[in-house]
Amino acid sequence: MLKGRKKRVKILVTGGAGFIGSHVVDRGLADGHDVVAVDNLSTGRKEFIQDALAHPQFSLVEADIFTQPDRLTEVMAGCDVVFHLAANADVRFGLEHPRRDLEQNTIATFNVLEAMRANGVRRIAFSSTGSVYGESSVIPTPEDAPFPVQTSLYAASKLPGEAMIQAYCEGYDMQGYIFRFVSLLGERYSHGHVFDFLKKLTADPNRLHVLGDGHQKKSYLYVGDCIDAMFCALSNATDPVNIFNLGTDEYVEVNDSIRCICDHLGVTPELDYAGGERGWIGDNPFIFLDCQRIRSLGWAPTRTIRESIVHTVDYLRSQPWLLEARS
Amino acid sequence: MLKGRKKRVKILVTGGAGFIGSHVVDRGLADGHDVVAVDNLSTGRKEFIQDALAHPQFSLVEADIFTQPDRLTEVMAGCDVVFHLAANADVRFGLEHPRRDLEQNTIATFNVLEAMRANGVRRIAFSSTGSVYGESSVIPTPEDAPFPVQTSLYAASKLPGEAMIQAYCEGYDMQGYIFRFVSLLGERYSHGHVFDFLKKLTADPNRLHVLGDGHQKKSYLYVGDCIDAMFCALSNATDPVNIFNLGTDEYVEVNDSIRCICDHLGVTPELDYAGGERGWIGDNPFIFLDCQRIRSLGWAPTRTIRESIVHTVDYLRSQPWLLEARS
């Protein structure tokens, strides 16, 4: 990371034992940096950071960044950059517990920024979401799309994170990297449609219940490509506030995704559609981001969406403990 | 309010003893509605609701919507619409206490929405700010301007309010009216540049210290026109989420504003400029909103910016207690 800066830096990763965070941990260590992972292990897993735990330049701090801001401030001492990836990533069931998004996403991000301010840490990378565009009138959607209207509590708790980071950059001379992800796939993926479909098809290969009408258009990105993109941005983008969409230059319908999974598994289930344009309230029927900005820095994804789906199915089948652990 | 709906409704106004809130209270009572004001009286003043306090259809609840969400939920029972105007409106000194914006603006708005959900109240009007556009690339700035970057903690605490309201409208079948104000002037105004200049010139008519270089371009709206616009929107706009800029079709430089005040007072102070394009960190050097959307509903302002400034100076001179009360 950090072209033209000191070679070895200290990175703090919130959500460092999670799906994305554990990959950032691995990449940070591989690049020779010191890495501190902070995770409350609510959805993060020690299995994801098994290699890191054996590494002399790594430490895991079991702490909750919402309820333990003082502990966060303490362990951030001496860090050069924060990857703030801890979040309540449960988009679909947000309406059942709106406080969770406020606390774990919005207030937790405030805690991270205050811990940075207390420690004089200037750089932050933040996992936002393409969902902040709501149902955009412009598709593919660029970073400067028309001012959006939020349709999910999840995005409505990530947008404040973006906003606070931007205001802290302006007011306290910090440097922010805001990444608006599409959904990610790949190793350690354990939440989302491929997971759900695979789990259902493993239980019953003859029948598959599908939320919505199957025509929802979604974009996915391989987690390895996502990590490359984030590190590329931190090395090459130099503005006080740097905002990047991260995705591929394509999308698939849910039906395409199902076909891809079924072909790979060799099953031909009867499809049972719930119907409707959206899978749930707040579901966006068409997510497709314009990623020219990050591509202009030289980054490009290495896997297509279909390749990522197949790769993820293979990964999950190699990790039956993971497929069984989550409902 | 509420064309084509029941004639007499119950309105809850958070910040009901404040500058804008007290005017909403008066208007609600004048229109024959029942009105409950909730105010912690930190910046709100009983003097502003003197007439209302004598009205049989009015009640004041002294409560803090951030620290007393249960009390808020209790007093909201039976209400039809909420005007959520309570806020920490101290834009300039936000960097000295970032937690205040989070708590009093972002979390307080969450508390209001949760109280509404608990009581089955569906309609909310919210005082956002034109500052959410940051330093927009499009001026005059329309509601669907390019996705902005926040430059102040204040706006970064109002934008989450907007976002949560939008997500609640989508998820819980509410109806939201989001107003992005320019700065307001008029009766009960007690915070801002006209106040500061008048206070300084009253103390010393020969010298005036000016933040920035005086060329900052700002927009103002008369509070009476603002109240008319809000009630017009609630009566005529019918979408689940309705977003309106509120301002005049003009702007003035800080220097114009100073000239206007000095001419009216008959003083010719020496102007002492702090210098720089911005008055403070996060100050926006050019605020000018495109207000065609609210105008298309038939609303138009009755006072120009200069008329509002003179009117405000006259008001403040008639209320020396107010001019002296605030630093």
Question: What number does CATH give the domain B185-219+250-290+302-325?
Answer: 3.90.25.10
Could you give the residue ranges of the DSSP H alpha helices within A268-304?
292-295
Is the pLDDT assigned to residue B281 strictly greater than 90? no
CATH architecture of B10-182+221-246: 3-Layer(aba) Sandwich (3.40)
Q: What is the pLDDT of residues B305-314, one digit of tens each?
A: 999 999 999 9
ipTM over 0.90 threshold: yes
Q: Provide the pLDDT for residue A90.
A: 80
Strands A252-253 and A217-218 come out as: antiparallel
Instruction: Please count the CA atoms within 13 angstroms of the CA of B305 that sit on its side-chain side.
Output: 21
Q: Residue B163 is encoded by which pair of tokens?
A: 């976002």
Inter-chain CB proximity A150 and B160 less than 8 Å:
no
Residue A157 — pLDDT band, cuts 50, 70, 90?
very high
Q: What is the pLDDT of residues B43-91, one digit of tens each?
A: 999 999 999 999 999 999 999 999 999 999 999 999 999 999 999 987 7
Question: CB of B81 within 8 A of CB of B123?
Answer: yes
User: Which residues of chain A are within 8 Å of residue B241 when distances are taken between CB atoms?
Assistant: 149
Residue A141 or A1, more confident: A141
- Minimum-distance CB partner of B282 among A106, A133, A171: A171
Q: How many CB pairs below 8 A link A and B?
A: 128
The distance of B5 to chain A (nearest Cα, Å) reads: 26
Q: Provide the pLDDT for residue A280.
A: 83
β strands within chain A, DSSP E:
10-14, 34-39, 58-62, 81-84, 123-129, 175-181, 183-185, 207-210, 217-218, 220-222, 241-246, 252-253, 270-273
Identify the closest residue of chain A to B100 by CA–CA distance.
A110
Domain ranges of chain A: 10-182+220-246, 185-219+250-322
Q: Does residue B69 belong to the interface with chain A, where contact is any CB pair within 8 Å?
A: no
Q: Residue A212 is encoded by which pair of tokens?
A: 């919505």
Burial of B298 (0-12, 13-18, 19+ CB in 10 A): exposed
User: Which residues of chain B are within 8 Å of residue A104 when distances are taken between CB atoms?
Assistant: none
Q: Provide the 10 A C-beta neighbour count for residue B227.
A: 19
Inter-chain CB proximity B149 and A160 less than 8 Å:
no
Q: Which residues contact B188 (CB under 8 A, 6 or more apart)?
A: B19, B22, B23, B45, B48, B223, B315, B322
Residue B5 or A179, more confident: A179
Q: What is the pLDDT of residues A61-79, one digit of tens each?
A: 999 999 999 999 999 999 9
Q: Does residue B41 belong to the interface with chain A, where contact is any CB pair within 8 Å?
A: no
For testing contact with chain B, the best of A141, A150, A180 (most B CBs within 10 A) = A150
User: Which residues of chain A are within 8 Å of residue B99 when distances are taken between CB atoms?
Assistant: 110, 114
Is the pLDDT assigned to residue B4 strictly greater than 60? no
Residue type at B319? Q
Inter-chain CB proximity A147 and B150 less than 8 Å:
no
Is the pLDDT assigned to residue B3 strictly greater than 80? no
Q: Residue B122 is encoded by which pair of tokens?
A: 């569906």
A10 vs B177: CA distance, rounded Å: 46
Q: Which residues contact A81 (CB under 8 A, 6 or more apart)?
A: A1, A2, A9, A10, A11, A12, A121, A123, A124, A125, A234
User: Which residues of chain A are within 8 Å of residue B164 when distances are taken between CB atoms?
Assistant: 102, 150, 153, 156-157
In Å, what is the CA distance from B210 to each residue of A52, A175, B194, B215, B247? 56, 30, 12, 10, 24
**Region for residue B123 given its phi and psi (left: phi exceeds 0; alpha: psi -120 to 50; beta: otherwise):** beta
Q: Does residue A277 belong to the interface with chain B, where contact is any CB pair within 8 Å?
A: no
For chain B, positions 148-187, list CB contacts with chain A under 8 A.
148-153, 155-157, 159-160, 162-164, 166-168, 170-172
Question: CB of A282 within 8 A of CB of A151?
Answer: yes
Q: Does residue B237 belong to the interface with chain A, where contact is any CB pair within 8 Å?
A: no
Identify the closest residue of chain A to B284 by CA–CA distance.
A170
Give the 3-state DSSP-derived string for A57-107, with helices as H, strands as E and coil as C. Answer: CEEEEECCCCCCHHHHHHHCCCCCEEEECCCCCCCCCHHHCHHHHHHHHHH
The distance of A103 to chain B (nearest Cα, Å) reads: 9
Identify the closest residue of chain A to B132 by CA–CA distance.
A163
The distance of A110 to chain B (nearest Cα, Å) reads: 8
Q: Provide the pLDDT for residue A6.
A: 59
- Minimum-distance CB partner of B281 among A144, A162, A170: A170
CATH 3.40.50.720 fits A10-182+220-246, yes or no: yes
Q: What is the pLDDT of residues B146-190, one digit of tens each?
A: 999 999 999 999 999 999 999 999 999 999 999 999 999 999 998
Q: What is the pLDDT of residues B221-280, one digit of tens each?
A: 999 999 999 999 999 999 999 999 999 999 999 999 999 999 999 999 999 999 998 888
* Residue A315 falls in the annotated catalytic set: no
Q: Phi first, then psi: give them for residue A210, nearest 5 degrees.
A: -125, 125
Average pLDDT of the residues in B92-104: 91
Q: What is the pLDDT of residues A234-274, one digit of tens each?
A: 999 999 999 999 999 999 999 999 999 999 999 999 999 99
Q: Provide the pLDDT for residue B324.
A: 85
Q: Provide the pLDDT for residue A326.
A: 60
B10-182+221-246 and B185-219+250-290+302-325: identical CATH topology: no
Residue A165 — pLDDT band, cuts 50, 70, 90?
very high
The distance of B19 to chain A (nearest Cα, Å) reads: 26
Average pLDDT of the residues in B131-159: 97
Residue A270 or B2, more confident: A270
Q: Provide the 10 A C-beta neighbour count for residue A314.
A: 12
DSSP B229-273: HHHHHHHH--SSEEEEEE--S--EEHHHHHHHHHHHHT--PEEEE
Which of B175, B176, B193, B168 is closest to B260 using CA atoms?
Answer: B193
Q: Does residue A98 belong to the interface with chain B, where contact is any CB pair within 8 Å?
A: yes
Q: Provide the 10 A C-beta neighbour count for residue B56.
A: 7
Question: CB of B174 within 8 A of CB of B168?
Answer: yes
Q: What is the pLDDT of residues B190-203, one digit of tens each?
A: 888 999 999 999 99
**Region for residue B130 given its phi and psi (left: phi exceeds 0; alpha: psi -120 to 50; beta: otherwise):** alpha
Q: Does residue B93 belong to the interface with chain A, where contact is any CB pair within 8 Å?
A: no
Mean pLDDT score across all residues of chain A: 95
Q: At which residue do the structure tokens 């009408």 appear?
A: A213
Q: Phi first, then psi: give them for residue B246, nearest 5 degrees.
A: -125, 115
Q: Provide the pLDDT for residue A12.
A: 98
Q: Provide the 10 A C-beta neighbour count for residue A289.
A: 28
Is the pLDDT assigned to residue A279 strictly greater than 90? no
User: Which residues of chain B are within 8 Å of residue A172 when distances are taken between CB atoms?
Assistant: 95
Is the pLDDT assigned to residue B2 strictly greater than 80? no
In Å, what is the CA distance from A76 to each residue of A12, A104, B129, B176? 7, 18, 34, 40
Q: What is the DSSP secondary structure assignment for residue A278, as one 8-state letter?
A: S
In CATH, which superfamily holds the domain spanning A185-219+250-322?
UDP-galactose 4-epimerase, domain 1 (3.90.25.10)
What is this structure's pTM?
Answer: 0.96
A165 vs B98: CA distance, rounded Å: 12
Q: Does residue A144 belong to the interface with chain B, where contact is any CB pair within 8 Å?
A: yes
Q: Provide the pLDDT for residue B25.
A: 98
What sign does the dihedral A53-A56-A57-A60 (CA atoms) show? positive
**Region for residue B312 given its phi and psi (left: phi exceeds 0; alpha: psi -120 to 50; beta: otherwise):** alpha
Identify the closest residue of chain A to B97 by CA–CA distance.
A114
Q: Does residue A227 belong to the interface with chain B, where contact is any CB pair within 8 Å?
A: no
